[in-house]
């Protein structure tokens, strides 16, 4: 998400993050930290078992020597036999420790085998029912590119429509739609051209490319999980490397690859030193070949460059928010993690511009009472786990920096849970100090737990004035706001006036450097200089652009404080940015919605997605119970009514058994099924309870509409209409 550019920028201050784009995306570093702390009980038993194993091996070696010595010295056979028996006993004990250690290692792997099995089941269902299709499959596909098939496409459209309703419409945001093709200068200003990179190594013979951190990570995990012979110290080292991986410089990564003897996984050839690879897809705008461009790596820059127009459009008033939904592109070195790490994806981003001196939010009280899993910085550092905190308390205690940030955290929580994300597997994790940009006031990620672990799906950052300032500087266009005072205010301003004639005489060609250095003083420095000049008449003054001290006399500069009347305050607004990875949210939603239940006959497991109506790809199916003209006519009439009410549905007039037809639509997450079993009334079945009611033909469409639009609950409908016995012959599930 957008955190990346927060962190891109942070790199300018920290230096070490500079060339590591993955830091900005996967949060792997902090996850590893959490992993390390959360797993500490496992680690403890694992470590003691490794120590036990090592000492047992030492005992075995000693006893082996003992046996050989006895034999060599021609000792008595009973003595030798006894010594051999003792050796075998020790070997048995070693076997037992190894078994325990293997178990400890596997369990610290966090049930990854089960998780992978679960994921395979879900992904198989998703691909079989065309929620997803690997893109360009008939041409053997392209890693990291996926199509949304019909149900996936409908889910995505529903999620985006709800996003527009929940954020854009509800908050009167200004939505914009900017091109994906972006000229270089824009992404130069944002920092992406120089810093949006991952470290890559190449197979020195074949040229195949790998992500350097992936190879080191794979090596360490393999060692930790499969090599029982490593010492507790070595195990601790590997865990440490995993935790700090994202903070390693290219040189440090290169050194680790050499130290561990890591080779190209496919060929076992040696690898090149790590070097940065820019993750943007590059292209050329126009025919000349002289205008480089990139496919945007995020949508936010399109909003920032339009700030001036949008501010004016909003009546030159703050706060206001702009929003954008659109494609973003990242040319991943070697995409893994299936649907979570792709080369093209849909982002939905909000830039909420506020006065940095007032970050209160008028609607904060509407979310203050929400309570959900939060994982503040302090809890992460001290090895605790996420805990439920009322949002109002989190803001009041300063855990969350300000009301506006808190308001968006609350709105994101409502958005995700209304889509169907399980609130027990959703947490808001605060960025650690070293993850955050130097200018950022605060930053929280909405992380959703799925089979890949806790995945960042929404980033909510207070990015201060960084982005607008960067584009102001590069473009020369002031991206600022003004607060007009109701009456002029008197302000005291420091005035530094170098006397150029005197300075020119004294410093000749260096005059400009001295003038600039004098003017660049802050208030404290200037007042100090003033006092010293008044006391001594002449002072040594350091000019950094000359790299030396010069001698400044009292006559060369006047420093004073003057009172001025000001009619307005001009400032660069802060921006609070919630940024949504739509594809990731949808994928997590699939995992959270999926379950299996036995068929009626009990002979097979059936797949179900428990989507809320809001996101279900199709709201309703219409089935004539048997193939018959009258029933088909009724089904088509109901279908027409549903179309007229804008309810997406599917009519299935195949002769397949009704149970099979229900199973098919459960697998698409269709919440309701209308079955035509007479010409006057029909049944409506709810997906998860499998309960059925009976309604008149004329009412069927409107009942479904009311329930899918959320105007009535199923419970309400269930208590209103006569029930249809689900045990009847036709429901042969």
Ranges within 106-165 binding its own copies (CB under 8 A): 129-130, 133, 135-139, 142-143, 145-150, 152-154, 156-157, 161, 164-165
Q: Does 179 bind its own copies (CB under 8 A)?
A: yes
Select 207 or 261, whichever has its Cβ closest to its own copies. Answer: 207
- Binding span for its own copies by CB under 8 A among 233-241, 327-335, 357-365, 519-527: 327-335
Helix axes 697-708, 629-644, angle to 10 degrees: 40
Select 149 or 504, whichever has its Cβ closest to its own copies. Answer: 149
What is the contact mask toward its own copies in residues 649 to 678, using x (rule: CB under 8 A)? -x---x------------------------
d(CA 518, CA 506): 15
Q: Which of residues 472-531 bind its own copies (CB under 8 A)?
A: 474-475, 477, 479
- Binding span for its own copies by CB under 8 A among 290-298, 413-421, 483-491, 698-706: 290-298
Identified binder of its own copies from the candidate list 40, 55, 114, 327, rule CB under 8 A? 327
Identified binder of its own copies from the candidate list 116, 177, 366, 528, rule CB under 8 A? 177
User: If you ran DSSP here, which 8-state letter would residue 328 be given?
Assistant: E
Select 165 or 360, whichever has its Cβ closest to its own copies. Answer: 165
Are 204 and 23 a contacting pair, CB within 8 Å?
no
Are 380 and 492 a contacting pair, CB within 8 Å?
no
Q: Across the strands, what pairs with 197? A: 278
Identified binder of its own copies from the candidate list 75, 80, 178, 499, rule CB under 8 A? 178
Binding-residue total with its own copies (CB under 8 A): 82
Q: Please report how close the Cβ of residue 292 comes to its own copies at its closest, in angstroms.
A: 11
Identified binder of its own copies from the candidate list 183, 488, 598, 710, rule CB under 8 A? 183
Mark out the alpha helices in 359-402 (DSSP H runs): 377-381, 391-396
Select 83 or 575, whichever has its Cβ closest to its own copies. Answer: 575
Select 303 or 533, whichever has its Cβ closest to its own copies. Answer: 303
C-alpha distances (whole Å) from 555 to each of 143, 517, 526 are 70, 16, 15
Select 320 or 454, whichever has its Cβ closest to its own copies. Answer: 320
Q: Does 390 bind its own copies (CB under 8 A)?
A: no
d(CA 108, CA 118): 18
Q: Please report how close the Cβ of residue 173 comes to its own copies at its closest, in angstroms.
A: 8
Q: Please report how close the Cβ of residue 470 comes to its own copies at its closest, in angstroms.
A: 12
Select 168 or 416, whichever has its Cβ closest to its own copies. Answer: 168
Select 274 or 376, whichever has its Cβ closest to its own copies. Answer: 274
Are 273 and 199 a contacting pair, CB within 8 Å?
no
- Binding span for its own copies by CB under 8 A among 73-81, 250-258, 298-306, 371-379: 298-306
d(CA 448, CA 456): 7
Select 55 or 657, whichever has its Cβ closest to its own copies. Answer: 657
Which residue pairs from 368-374 have beta carbons closer than 8 angstroms and sit at least 24 positions apart in sequence? Answer: 368/392, 368/395, 368/406, 368/410, 370/410, 370/413, 370/414, 372/413, 372/423, 372/426, 372/427, 372/428, 373/423, 373/424, 373/426, 373/427, 373/428, 374/399, 374/427, 374/428, 374/429, 374/430
Q: Does 727 bind its own copies (CB under 8 A)?
A: no
Q: Does 197 bind its own copies (CB under 8 A)?
A: no
Q: Please report how close the Cβ of residue 322 comes to its own copies at its closest, in angstroms.
A: 8
Select 80 or 178, whichever has its Cβ closest to its own copies. Answer: 178
Q: Please report how close the Cβ of residue 359 comes to its own copies at its closest, in angstroms.
A: 23
Structure tokens of 68?
């050989």
Q: Does 207 bind its own copies (CB under 8 A)?
A: yes
Q: Please report how close the Cβ of residue 382 comes to its own copies at its closest, in angstroms.
A: 40
d(CA 133, CA 146): 6
Q: Which of residues 264-283 bind its own copies (CB under 8 A)?
A: 277, 281-283
- Binding span for its own copies by CB under 8 A among 5-13, 183-191, 428-436, 534-542: 183-191
d(CA 480, CA 348): 24
- Binding span for its own copies by CB under 8 A among 106-114, 291-299, 375-383, 584-592: 291-299
User: If you ran DSSP here, which 8-state letter would residue 269 be given?
Assistant: -
Select 129 or 687, whichever has its Cβ closest to its own copies. Answer: 129
- Binding span for its own copies by CB under 8 A among 325-333, 415-423, 514-522, 722-730: 325-333
Q: Does 588 bind its own copies (CB under 8 A)?
A: no
Q: Please report how close the Cβ of residue 249 comes to its own copies at its closest, in angstroms.
A: 20
Q: Give the CA angle between residues 177, 178, 182 to the nearest 5°.
A: 165
d(CA 702, CA 477): 55
- Binding span for its own copies by CB under 8 A among 255-263, 425-433, 471-479, 715-723: 471-479
Q: Which of residues 702-721 bind its own copies (CB under 8 A)?
A: none
Q: Does 295 bind its own copies (CB under 8 A)?
A: yes
Nearest-CA neighbor of 197 among 292, 275, 125? 275
Q: Please report how close the Cβ of residue 185 comes to its own copies at its closest, in angstroms.
A: 5
- Binding span for its own copies by CB under 8 A among 54-62, 173-181, 247-255, 520-528: 173-181
Select 49 or 173, whichever has its Cβ closest to its own copies. Answer: 173
Mark out the alpha helices in 397-499 (DSSP H runs): 403-419, 466-475
How would you class 8 by CB atoms within 10 Å of its CB: exposed for 0-12, middle for 13-18, buried for 19 or more? buried
Q: Phi and psi at residue 375, in whole multiples of 5°?
A: -130, 80
d(CA 2, CA 5): 6
Select 333 or 521, whichever has its Cβ closest to its own copies. Answer: 333
d(CA 726, CA 607): 19
Q: Which of residues 628-647 bind its own copies (CB under 8 A)?
A: 643, 646
Identified binder of its own copies from the candidate list 4, 200, 300, 395, rule CB under 8 A? 200
Q: Please report how close the Cβ of residue 456 comes to its own copies at its closest, in angstroms.
A: 22
d(CA 151, CA 376): 37
Following DSSP, what letter does each residue of 473-510 receive, concatenated? HHH-----EEEEEEEEEEEEEEEEEE-HHHHHHHHGGG
Q: Please report how close the Cβ of residue 661 comes to its own copies at its closest, in angstroms.
A: 12
Q: Which of residues 342-361 bind its own copies (CB under 8 A)?
A: 343-344
C-alpha distances (whole Å) from 26 to each of 214, 245, 440, 674 are 12, 12, 19, 44
Select 294 or 413, whichever has its Cβ closest to its own copies. Answer: 294
Cα 405 to chain centroid distance, Å, stands at 17
Q: Are strands 132-134 and 692-696 parallel, antiparallel or unpaired?
A: unpaired
Q: Please report how close the Cβ of residue 142 comes to its own copies at its closest, in angstroms.
A: 5
Identified binder of its own copies from the candidate list 96, 231, 284, 630, rule CB under 8 A? 284
d(CA 58, CA 231): 13
Residue with structure tokens 């007039």? 653
Identified binder of its own copies from the candidate list 186, 348, 386, 450, rule CB under 8 A? 186
- Binding span for its own copies by CB under 8 A among 169-177, 213-221, 539-547, 573-581: 169-177
Nearest-CA neighbor of 319 among 368, 363, 366, 359? 359
Identified binder of its own copies from the candidate list 54, 84, 87, 176, rule CB under 8 A? 176
Nearest-CA neighbor of 515 among 496, 539, 536, 538? 496
Q: Phi and psi at residue 209, in whole multiples of 5°?
A: -105, 145
Q: Please report how close the Cβ of residue 339 comes to its own copies at its closest, in angstroms.
A: 13
């Amino acid at each position: 998400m957008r955190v990346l550019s927060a962190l891109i920028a942070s790199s300018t201050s920290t230096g070490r993050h500079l060339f590591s784009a993955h830091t900005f995306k996967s949060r792997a570093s902090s996850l590893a930290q959490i992993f390390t702390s959360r797993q500490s009980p496992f680690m403890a038993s694992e470590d003691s078992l490794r120590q036990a194993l090592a000492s047992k091996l030492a005992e075995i070696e000693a006893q082996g020597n003992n046996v050989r010595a006895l034999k060599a010295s021609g000792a008595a056979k009973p003595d030798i036999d006894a010594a051999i028996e003792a050796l075998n006993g020790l070997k048995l004990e070693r076997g037992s420790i190894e078994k325990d250690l293997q178990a400890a290692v596997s369990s610290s792997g966090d049930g990854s085998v089960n998780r992978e099995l679960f994921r395979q089941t879900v992904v198989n269902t998703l691909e079989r029912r065309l929620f997803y299709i690997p893109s360009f499959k008939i041409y053997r596909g392209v890693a990291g590119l996926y199509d949304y098939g019909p149900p996936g496409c409908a889910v995505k459209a529903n999620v985006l429509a709800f996003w527009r309703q929940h954020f854009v419409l509800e908050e009167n945001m200004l939505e914009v739609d900017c091109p994906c093709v972006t000229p270089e200068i824009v992404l130069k200003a944002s920092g992406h051209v120089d810093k949006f990179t991952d470290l890559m190594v190449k197979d020195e013979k074949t040229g195949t490319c790998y992500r350097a951190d992936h190879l080191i990570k794979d090596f360490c995990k393999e060692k930790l999980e499969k090599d029982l012979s490593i010492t507790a110290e070595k195990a601790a080292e590997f865990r440490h490397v995993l935790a700090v991986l994202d903070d390693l410089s290219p040189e440090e990564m290169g050194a680790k690859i050499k130290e561990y003897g890591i080779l190209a996984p496919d060929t076992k050839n040696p690898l090149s030193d790590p070097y940065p690879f820019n993750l943007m897809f590059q292209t050329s705008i126009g025919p000349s070949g002289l205008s480089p461009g990139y496919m945007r790596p995020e949508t936010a820059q399109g909003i920032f460059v339009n700030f001036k127009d949008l501010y004016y459009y909003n009546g030159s008033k703050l706060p206001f928010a702009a929003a954008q939904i659109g494609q973003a592109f990242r040319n991943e070195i070697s995409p893994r993690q299936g649907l979570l790490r792709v080369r093209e994806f849909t982002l939905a981003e909000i830039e909420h511009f506020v006065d940095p001196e007032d970050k209160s939010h008028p609607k904060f009280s509407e979310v203050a009472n929400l309570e959900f899993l939060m994982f503040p910085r302090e809890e992460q550092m001290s090895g605790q786990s996420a805990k439920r905190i009322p949002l109002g308390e989190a803001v009041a205690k300063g855990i969350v920096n300000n009301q506006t940030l808190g308001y968006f955290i609350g709105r994101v929580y409502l958005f995700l849970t209304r889509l169907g994300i399980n609130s027990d597997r959703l947490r808001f994790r605060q960025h650690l100090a070293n993850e955050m940009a130097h200018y950022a006031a605060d930053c929280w990620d909405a992380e959703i737990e799925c089979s890949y672990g806790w995945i960042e799906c929404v980033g909510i950052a207070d990015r201060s004035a960084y982005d607008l300032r960067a584009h102001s500087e590069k473009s020369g266009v002031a991206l600022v706001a003004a607060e007009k005072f109701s009456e002029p205010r008197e302000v005291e301003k420091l005035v530094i006036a170098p006397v150029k004639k005197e300075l020119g005489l004294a410093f000749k060609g260096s005059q400009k450097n001295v003038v600039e250095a004098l003017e660049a003083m802050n208030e404290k420095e200037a007042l100090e200089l003033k006092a010293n000049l008044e006391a001594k008449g002449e002072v040594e003054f350091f000019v950094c652009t000359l790299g030396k001290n010069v001698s400044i006399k009292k006559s060369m500069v006047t420093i004073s404080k003057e009172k001025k009347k000001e009619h307005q305050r001009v400032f660069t607004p802060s921006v609070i940015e919630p940024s949504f990875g739509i594809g990731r949210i949808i994928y997590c939603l699939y995992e959270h919605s999926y379950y299996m239940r036995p068929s009626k006959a009990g002979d097979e497991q059936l797949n179900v997605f428990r989507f809320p109506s809001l996101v279900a790809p199709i709201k309703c199916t219409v089935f004539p119970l048997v193939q018959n003209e009258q029933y088909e006519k009724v089904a088509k009439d109901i279908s027409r009514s549903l179309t007229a009410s804008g309810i997406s549905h599917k009519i299935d007039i195949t002769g397949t058994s009704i149970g099979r037809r229900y199973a098919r639509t459960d697998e698409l997450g269709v919440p309701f099924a209308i079955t035509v079993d007479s010409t006057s009334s029909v049944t409506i079945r709810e997906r998860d309870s499998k309960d059925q009611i009976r309604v008149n033909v004329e009412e069927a469409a409107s009942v479904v509409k009311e329930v899918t639009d959320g105007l009535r609950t199923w419970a309400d409908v269930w208590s209103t209409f006569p029930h249809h016995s689900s045990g009847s012959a036709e429901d042969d599930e």
